[in-house]
Amino acid sequence: MLSRYEQALEALNRRGRLRKLEGRAGVDFTSNDYLGLAESPELTHALQEALVRGVPVGAGGSRLLRGNHPEHEALEAEACAFFGAESALYFGAGFAANAALISTLPQRGDLVLYDELVHASTHEGLGLTKAQTDFFAHNDIMQLEDKLRAFRVGNKDARCFIAIESLYSMDGDLAPIAEIAKLAARYDAILFIDEAHATGVQGLQGRGLSADLEGQANIISLHTCGKALGVSGALVLMPELLRRFMINRSRAFIYATAPSPLMAAGVRTALKICAKADDRRARLQERIGQLNGHLQKMGLPVTGTQIQPIVLGADRHALDMAQALAREGFDIRAIRPPTVPEGTARLRITLSANLTHDNIDALGAALSRLMQERAA
């Protein structure tokens, strides 16, 4: 009965695509803990204090039943104030939040236009929605406009949604948010902005790249709390009306145990730390500049953000390079299709404010040597 699973795994293995869980080893150039908060004393103490004042670990039920806790509500109120949004809803994970949004708000007769590089969690929602879906080439605002215009010709009243990331998770580049927001306004579309990798890192006080747009009636943003904020879960910021709609219609919200109140308390602290973390952001920026210097010397393109892919093409090349770097004490993972498009397997290097100057120089030297060996 189980043999088909075995065969499927063997097929993945033959193609070099078998995934395995691996332990933590080597200097961290792979996590999304960009500000170095996940293991920080500030967060650890805040959670200890929260436990002492009686915040429960488990919610015990759905938010709509007994699971709604004052910590969730306090977090959502503080998130609105911090990000400048009208309302916020806290989910247990960004994946669930994205899937919930895209599968709940767009409905039959509507259209969702998404950037071709959006995350798997958005695709999860796209797979569930009854709306039509179509993609546009990465960051191609001309193509986006063509598709918006074409849709509006015959669909004056239908809703149209645009789904993008502000900082792309596997490519490390930024979306032209201001231009896309203008198109959204011109074509009466709702803009979903997944800020997963920008929250905490980009914008004033780490409020992300959509901060200037927050509070507008057609803007929905998602701020994950398990990356730069160092905790877990995700905050969806949106107009109050849409929050009420999500609470009434989102299956992932209604039929799930509420996120841990303790984690909500942790995110409240993380937001306070984030607001004052200019020193951490400056350190991260310095490390980014330093790594860029090394990569440019090797003739490699740079993103200028904390996510730096080195596209190597074939899966085998990316895997071999990641293994060679692991042997030298660096934790950098190979990212392969289907996570990235075919033929673009890569190393995904991420930087954190915790890394030292020496860590970056050591990586630069190792990469330069290994890339030369590969070319020879």
Ligand X SMILES: Cc1ncc(COP(=O)(O)O)c(C=O)c1O
- Point out which residues pair with 88 in neighbouring strands: 237
Question: Looking at beta carbons only, is 169 or 218 nearer to ligand X?
Answer: 169
Taking the least distance from each CB to ligand X, the nearer of 91 and 136 is 91
Tell me how far, at minimum, the Cβ of 348 lies from ligand X, in Å: 11
Minimum distance from CB of 364 to ligand X (Å)? 26
164 vs 360, beta carbon nearer ligand X: 164
How far apart are CB 95 and ligand X at their closest, in Å? 4
Residue that has been written with the tokens 């209604």 in this structure = 254
Tell me the three state secondary structure of residue 298.
coil
Q: How far apart are CA 197 and CA 169, in angstroms?
A: 6
Of 148 and 231, the one with the shorter C-beta distance to ligand X is 231
Query: CB count, 10 Å around CB of 360?
Result: 22
Using CB under 6 A as the criterion, which residues of the chain lie in contact with ligand X when the complex forms?
Answer: 93-95, 98, 119, 121, 165, 169, 194, 196, 224, 226, 234
In whole angstroms, the minimum distance from the beta carbon of 160 to ligand X comes to 21
Report in angstroms how near the CB of residue 235 gets to ligand X at its nearest. 10
Provide the sign of the torsion angle of the four alpha carbons 210, 287, 171, 233, taken in this order: negative
Sheet holding 189-194, edge to edge: 87-91, 234-238, 219-224, 189-194, 160-165, 111-115, 132-136
Q: Are 174 and 305 in contact (CB under 8 A)?
A: yes
Residue nearest ligand X (C-beta atom): 94
Residues 6+ apart with CB under 8 A from 308: 172, 288, 291, 292, 295, 302, 348, 349, 350, 351
List the catalytic residues.
32, 119, 165, 169, 194, 197, 227
Cα separation, 161 vs 105, in Å, equals 9
347: tokens are 């190393």
The residue (of 121 and 359) whose beta carbon lies closer to ligand X is: 121
The minimum distance between CB 225 and ligand X, in angstroms, equals: 7
In the complex with ligand X, the residue whose CB is nearer, 197 or 287, is: 197
| Nearer to ligand X (CB atom), residue 82 or residue 91 | 91
Count CA within 13 A, CB hemisphere, residue 284: 27
What's the min distance (Å) between Cβ of 79 and ligand X? 15
Rounded (10°) CA dihedral 69, 75, 80, 82: 170
Name the residue among 100, 91, 103, 17 with its Cα closest to residue 342.
Answer: 17
* Closer Cβ to ligand X, 38 or 360, answer by number: 38
Q: Tell the burial category of 141 from Cβ atoms under 10 Å away from its Cβ (0-12, 13-18, 19+).
A: middle
* Whole-angstrom Cα Rg for the chain: 21
Maximum Cα–Cα distance across the chain = 64
Per the DSSP assignment, residues forming a β-bridge with 348 are: 309, 333
Neighbours of 341 (CB within 10 A): 13
CB of 373 to ligand X, least distance (A): 31
